[in-house]
Structure 1
Amino acid sequence: MEQQTQQACIICGQMKEEGIVIVSHFICEDCEAEMVRTEAEDAKYRFFIGRMKKIGLQKNA
């Protein structure tokens, strides 16, 4: 059986084993699920966008 290692989530900062990796940045499954359910009008939406900027997928102007 393969042993999974814990990684720090870029959204919540907690150490978790389950989640996704985007461009070498880990997002735990709990934060991923909450992000998917969050409406754009929700105040937490901006929080998630701010954290996702760490991934660096946006082009520099």
Structure 2
Amino acid sequence: MDEHAHNTCIICGEHKLEGIHIVSEFICDACEAEMIHTDVQEEKYHFFIHRMKQIWVQKNA
């Protein structure tokens, strides 16, 4: 894969150049940083968990 290709982030849905791949999905740098700094008590934490579950759902589909 071209390392400069745009990837669609499974968290924000935006096309980004920089980020990480987990299994066959992509998470942009901005979302990764936000996830790392989100406290488990915050509502956004549950959103991140829901989106991350999609990695395993799609892999096992």
- TM-score (norm. length: structure 1): 0.86
Q: Establish whether residue 19 from structure 1 lines up as the match of residue 13 from structure 2.
A: no
List, as ranges, runs of 4+ consecutive aligned residues in structure 1 with deviation greater than 4 Å. none
Instruction: Pick closer, same or farther for the CA change 1:41–1:12 going to 2, 3 Å.
Output: same
| Number of equivalent positions | 57
Q: Distance in 2 between matches of 1:13 and 1:37?
A: 20
The structure having more radius of gyration, on CA atoms, is 1
Q: Which amino acid aligns with 2:35?
A: M
Instruction: Pick closer, same or farther for the CA change 1:23–1:3 going to 2, 3 Å.
Output: closer
Name the one with the larger helix percent.
Answer: 2
The two structures, once aligned, show a CA RMSD in angstroms of 1.9
Q: Percent identity?
A: 54
Name structure 1 gaps, 5 residues minimum. Answer: none
Q: Which amino acid aligns with 2:6?
A: Q
